[in-house]
Amino acid sequence: MSLSRRSLLLTGGAVAAAGALPAGRAVAQDVEAAAPATPVLTSRNPLVEQRADPFVTPPTDGMYYLTGSVPEYDRIVVRGASTLDGLATARERTVWRRPSSGPMGGYIWAPELHRIDGKWYIYFAAGDSDQPFRIRTYVLESPSADPREATWTLRGQMVTGWDSFTLDATTFVHRDKRYFLWAQSEPGIATNSNLYIAEMASPLALASAPVRIAVPTLDWEVQGFKVNEGPAVLIRNGRVFVTFSASATDARYCMGLLTADENADLLDARSWTKSPRPVFTTNAATSQYGPGHNSFTRVGDVDVLVYHARDYRDITGDPLFDPNRHTRAQRLHWNADGTPSFGVPVGRGEPPVRLHPLDAPHAVVRHYEYRMRVDGDVRDLADSQFRVVAGFLGAGTVALQSVNFPDRYVRTDGTDLRIDPYEDTDAYGRAASFVRDESRAGLVFRQGDLHVTHDTGRLVMARLGTSREARQRATFRVG
C-alpha cells in the first residue's frame, strides 16, 4: 500500500477532510464548550518554490506580501494575497530590475519589504556589474498603498560604519524607537559577516553608530564560512528575540538565536545573549537541508516561521547558484518559559498538528522512546507533532504520522500506543488505523469500541467511560 496519502486540512480547531473521507460518529456534545479555533496557516509545504531568503510581511490592510531572492539574482519581485496560503498561487510582479551596468548591476539578494509612516520600503543587497560580490545595501521607496505597483524610486545606499560587504538588512520598532539590524564584514575582524544594530534617524539613514552584537565563533557558525547573517526580529514575552543564519549556504546552513530583555538598552552589546546551540538545523529524516534566512509573520494570534530550505543534501557547484531553496512556512510554538520552540523543518505536505487532552489543555500528546505519552512543557517540539493522514483501512479511517520520524505511524501494541515504522501488512494497517470522531469540543480516535485516552501519563486504548471526566480524557483539541 502506498505511503503517499492525502492529508487532512487543519481548519477551525479541528481536522476536516480534504477529500471524501467522512468523519466518524459525532462525539457527545456536552463534553466541553467549543475548542478555540486554530487559524489555517497554509495547506502546503513548500509554500513557494525557488524563492530563497523569504520575507513575508505581517498582515497589512488585510494583505500578506512576499518577497525574496530569485534564482537569477537580477530583480525584485512581490506577490500579495489575503491569506498566507494564497501567496502560493498569487501573481508575482517585478517591481525593480537591476541596471545593465555599474553599481547594483551585479547580484541582487534578500529584499525585505517594510511599511513605515505610510510608505513602503524595500531594503536589498546588490553587487556591481563588474564586481557582483561587491555587495552593499540599498533602499527603494514607494508611496503606493499596494507594494506591487510600479511606483518604486531608488533612494540610494544605506550608509553604515564601513564601506564593506553589507547585506540582509531588516528594521523594527521597539519602545517608540526604530532600529536597523544587518550583517556586515567589519575591517579588522576575520569573518565573512557579523551582526550590527543602530537606531534610525529615518527609513533612509542611521542615527547612531553601529553596535556589533554577534560574531561567528561557535563551531556551527563557521562551517565553510564564518557567517552571521539574515537577522529577523520577534518581540514576545518580555524579550527581544533575533534569529540569524550561520555557516555556508549548503546543508550546513542553520539558524541561531540572540535574546535581550525588552527593558535593556538594545544598543549595548552586553544586552544580547547568544544561545550556545543552533535552534533550527538540517533534518535528514524530513529531507530538509540548510534551513535558514527566515522571517516571521502572524495568522490570527499564531506566530509563523517563514524560511527557506532544500529537499536534498548534495549540490553540484556553488550552493548559491542552486535554485531550489524553497519558501516554507510552519507554526512557531512557545515553551512554558516564554522562549520560542522551533522544532524541525517539516517535510513536504500539509501542516502538522499537536493534540491536547481536553482535561489537560497545557499538556500534549507526544512520543518518547517511540512510546506515546501525554506530558507538559514538551521542549522537543517535533516529538509532539503529527500529520493526520488517510488511514490504511480505506475511507472512514485516519492514521497519525510522526513529523520527525515520517516513516513511523501511531499504532496499538496491546493497550499501549507507540510509533513504529510502516509495514505493508494487514496487521500493521489494522493497528495503525483509527476512526476519527469530531465535535465542537475536539477529536476522538477509536478502534471499534476502544478509544485513545490517557492514564497517568500513558496514552492507551480503553473503553470510553460514562463520566464527563472520562470523556474529556479521550477528547483532544488541535493546537
* H or E element, residue 79: strand 75-81
Nearest to 248 by CA among 181, 193, 166: 193
CB 198 within 8 A of CB 179: yes
What are the backbone angles phi and psi of residue 357, rounded to the nearest 5°?
-60, 140
Catalytic-role residue among 32, 53, 112, 359:
53
Strands in 316-362 per DSSP E: 326-331, 333-334, 340-341, 355-357
Burial track 240-269 (b if 16+ CB lie within 10 A, e otherwise): bbbbbbbbbbbbbbbbbbbbbeeeeebbee
Task: Report the distance separating Cα 154 and Cα 136, nearest Å.
Answer: 14
Q: Which of 363, 335, 336, 352 is nearest to 455 (CA)?
A: 363
First to last CA, the chain: 30
d(Cα 34, Cα 439) in Å, to the nearest integer? 8
Alpha carbons 167 and 181: distance in angstroms, whole number: 10
Look up residue 414 and give its three cell numbers.
Answer: 496491546
By the 10 Å C-beta count (0-12 exposed, 13-18 middle, 19+ buried), 221 is classed as buried
The Cα–Cα gap between 348 and 44 comes to 7
Kindly name the residue from 186, 221, 229, 350 that is annotated as catalytic: 229
Count H helices and E strands in the chain, helices first: 2, 36
Is 229 a known active-site residue? yes
Cβ neighbours for 414, distance < 8 A, ≥ 6 positions apart: none
Residue 457: its H or E element: none
Q: Is residue 141 annotated as part of the catalytic site, yes or no? A: no
Residue 208: which H helix or E strand, with range?
none
Question: Does residue 9 contact residue 15 with C-beta atoms inside 8 Å?
Answer: yes
Kindly give, in sequence order, each residue whose CB lies less than 8 Å from that of residue 51, ignoring residues fewer than 6 positions away.
66, 68, 69, 70, 308, 325, 326, 327
Per the DSSP assignment, residues forming a β-bridge with 151 are none
Is the peptide bond prior to 276 cis by the omega test (within 30 degrees of 0)?
A: no
As annotated, the active-site residues are 53, 229
